[in-house]
Chains A and B, each alone.
Chain A
Amino acid sequence: QKEVEQDPGPLSVPEGAIVSLNCTYSNSAFQYFMWYRQYSRKGPELLMYTYSSGNKEDGRFTAQVDKSSKYISLFIRDSQPSDSATYLCAMSLVNQAGTALIFGKGTTLSVSS
């Protein structure tokens, strides 16, 4: 069973739409949940970072974590063409070792003007 599942898309929306991106996971020990944005041939860029369950908002972005369902979401309001990228969810345990991130495969988003 894969640890982190993410629908690869592609997802195409018009400018101004609300976008919902989701991941499911199997390891209930994950405690830190992140969303990264990756442009083509670039490194992942941290967008949102949450600990345990709940919501976190930052501008047009809202991250939700539902640990009981092992489900995380990223919402993008008023989407812009510049939001076109691949969105990666990632999560980690917390231990004395390295807190390695486990990534989803990424969802490719295209926002058309």
Chain B
Amino acid sequence: EPEVTQTPSHQVTQMGQEVILRCVPISNHLYFYWYRQILGQKVEFLVSFYNNEISEKSEIFDDQFSVERPDGSNFTLKIRSTKLEDSAMYFCASRIQGQYGYTFGSGTRLTVV
């Protein structure tokens, strides 16, 4: 069964450093998303991406965050200057056109120290 692949599975970074989280969505999916889940809290929407541009973003997705689809297969989330409160599981998801159930990746656990 096709999967959304995320790397790395766990990243530890120092406060103020830049991190890039990587995702390979399912190949025929056209809509891409990043969500995060702080330990013990809800899964929260960050951003959606379609046709090589951001289509929607939440209040969490401020100027410190950016997304990119650099080569037609990868989909990345960059955090420019990490804060302690950015520590969370970050999930990439994708979906096919016409259906609204997403497929999620296994996530990247980001720990900011």
Q: Which residues of A contact B (CB under 8 A)?
A: 32, 34, 36, 41-46, 49, 51, 88, 90, 92, 94, 96-106
Contact = CB atoms under 8 A, between A and B. Distances in A.
Contacts of B56: 97-100
11 contacts: A36-B104, A41-B89, A45-B104, A49-B101, A90-B43, A98-B33, A98-B55, A100-B33, A100-B58, A102-B45, A103-B44
A102 B102 CA distance: 12
Contacts of A101: 35, 43, 45, 102
Given A41-B109, A99-B100, 13 more contacts: A34-B100, A34-B101, A43-B4, A51-B100, A96-B55, A97-B48, A97-B56, A98-B49, A98-B55, A99-B31, A99-B48, A103-B42, A105-B41
Contacts of B89: 41
B103 A98 contact: no
A104 B42 contact: yes
